[in-house]
Amino acid sequence: MTTTIRIQAGDFDAAAEARKLTDGRRDIGAVVTFAGLCRDEGGSLAALELEHYPQMAEEEIARVAARARARWPLAGVTVIHRHGKVAPGAQIVLVVTASAHRTAAFEAAEFLMDYLKTRAPFWKKEHRADGSEGGWVEARDADDRAAERWAD
Under the rule (CB under 8 A), what is the footprint of other proteins? 36, 50-53, 55-56, 59-60, 81, 92-93, 113, 116-125, 136-139, 143
Look at the alpha carbons of 98, 121, 47, 4 in this order and tell me if their dihedral is positive or negative. Answer: negative
Between 73 and 148, name the residue whose CB sits nearer to other proteins.
148
Of 39, 52, 124, the residue nearest 88 (C-alpha): 39
Q: How far is the CB of 136 from other proteins (least distance, A)?
A: 5
Between 38 and 75, name the residue whose CB sits nearer to other proteins.
38
List for the chain the helix, strand, coil content (%; round to 5).
35, 35, 30
What stretch of H or E contains 124? strand 122-128
What CA dihedral angle connects 20, 21, 25 and 28, to 10 degrees? -150
- Backbone φ and ψ for 101, nearest 5 degrees, come out as -130, 155
Q: How far is the CB of 151 from other proteins (least distance, A)?
A: 15
Between 15 and 137, name the residue whose CB sits nearer to other proteins.
137
Q: How far is the CB of 45 from other proteins (least distance, A)?
A: 14
Q: How far is the CB of 123 from other proteins (least distance, A)?
A: 4
Between 2 and 55, name the residue whose CB sits nearer to other proteins.
55
What is the rounded distance in angstroms from the CA atom of residue 80 to the CA atom of residue 39? 18
